[in-house]
Amino acid sequence: MTRVSTSGNFGVMTSNLMRAQVLQNTAGEQVSSQKNATDLKGYAKNAEVLTAMRASQAKVAGFLDQTTLVSNRLDVQDVAIGQVSGAVQTAREAIANAVAAGSAETMMQALGGAFGDVLQGLNAKSNGRYVFAGAKSDIQPTTTTSMADLTAAASVASLFQNDQYVTSNRIDDTTSVDTGVLADKLGTGAYNAFKQVQAYVDANGPFTGKLTQAQTTFLTGLLPTFDAVKTGLITDQAKNGLNQKRFDTAQTDLKDQADTLSTMVGGITDVDMAEAITRLESAKLAVQASAQVFASLQNSSLLNVLK
């Protein structure tokens, strides 16, 4: 007997067609986004693990950004301390050469240039902020312009504008390191050494031409002072270099952690493209097949039989 009632079949095929379309859309979204889902709900039992991993990623990224900024500042500090140290060495050599030659014809010019390098180093900037100014990083740590200011000021200490805040930065959750260097701690020794030269000039007149015995004796006595200042600056630069090494190592470790976490998160969120494309093609075929069956059912309706 010919079956003329097809409402049940229509319902089944409509349901199959809609289900196939949903599967096709899901597979299409996965292929286009290359992700298994667009929200945590789509990851079901892995949602809590994924949330924890992303929190760890954010923390590692924060530390990584900080270590990058600190490393850049430490690099600037290294160059600046080296400049101050080199200037002190230049001044020492100018004095030693004058004593050896018995003439100070160009010594004061060389000392003035070296002192200018000291000032430039103490007023070094990183990202527009003075690195040796402590918390007052928007204020120039020393306003001295020439050696004459050393004797004109009430004291060497009054020539520095920095406060006493030493910057500290975290390497990780448990370790903090003092990375800041203050201008007065860095420059006081150099200022005092240059001040002795300027004070002698103020009291006895400038060094010009051939040195007198008194001038020679005075300048010879200054050499150990400049040597001591140089040694102190080398120590400061070495401490800064140690911090550079620690933060460079931390940066490498943090990058490795970030890569590991990205791989772990990707293992949950990233779709297997080969599998997703296969599912998409299968879903397309299912939609086409359901549509064809649905269309064929239209020809087996009661109206067609009655005709």
Task: Say how far apart CA 8 and CA 1 lie, in whole Å.
Answer: 18
Give, as one character, the DSSP assignment of residue 174: S
DSSP string, 56-117: HHHHHHHHHHHHHHHHHHHHHHHHHHHHHHHHHHHHHHHHHHHHHHTB-TTHHHHHHHHHHH
Strands 176-178 and 168-170: antiparallel
With vertex at residue 229, the alpha carbon angle to CA 218 and CA 182, rounded to the nearest 5 degrees, is: 135
Task: Say how far apart CA 294 and CA 302 lie, in whole Å.
Answer: 15
Task: Say how far apart CA 148 and CA 199 lie, in whole Å.
Answer: 9
Residue 285's pLDDT is what? 59
Residue 289's pLDDT is what? 57
Question: How far is CA 220 from its chain centroid?
Answer: 46
Residue 273's pLDDT is what? 60
- Are the C-beta atoms of 64 and 181 separated by less than 8 Å? no
pTM, rounded to two decimals? 0.71
CATH homologous superfamily for the domain 71-245: f41 fragment of flagellin, N-terminal domain (1.20.1330.10)
Residue 256's pLDDT is what? 80
pLDDT per residue of the chain (307 residues) written in tens, 0 to 9: 445 455 555 555 556 556 655 555 565 565 555 565 555 455 555 556 667 767 777 887 877 888 888 889 999 999 999 999 999 999 999 999 999 999 998 999 999 999 999 999 999 998 899 999 999 999 999 989 999 999 999 999 999 999 999 998 888 777 888 999 999 999 999 999 999 999 999 999 999 889 999 999 999 999 999 999 999 999 999 999 999 998 888 888 878 877 777 666 655 655 556 665 666 566 665 555 555 555 555 555 555 555 5
CA–CA distance from 191 to each of 19, 88, 119 (Å)? 83, 10, 10
Residue 40's pLDDT is what? 47
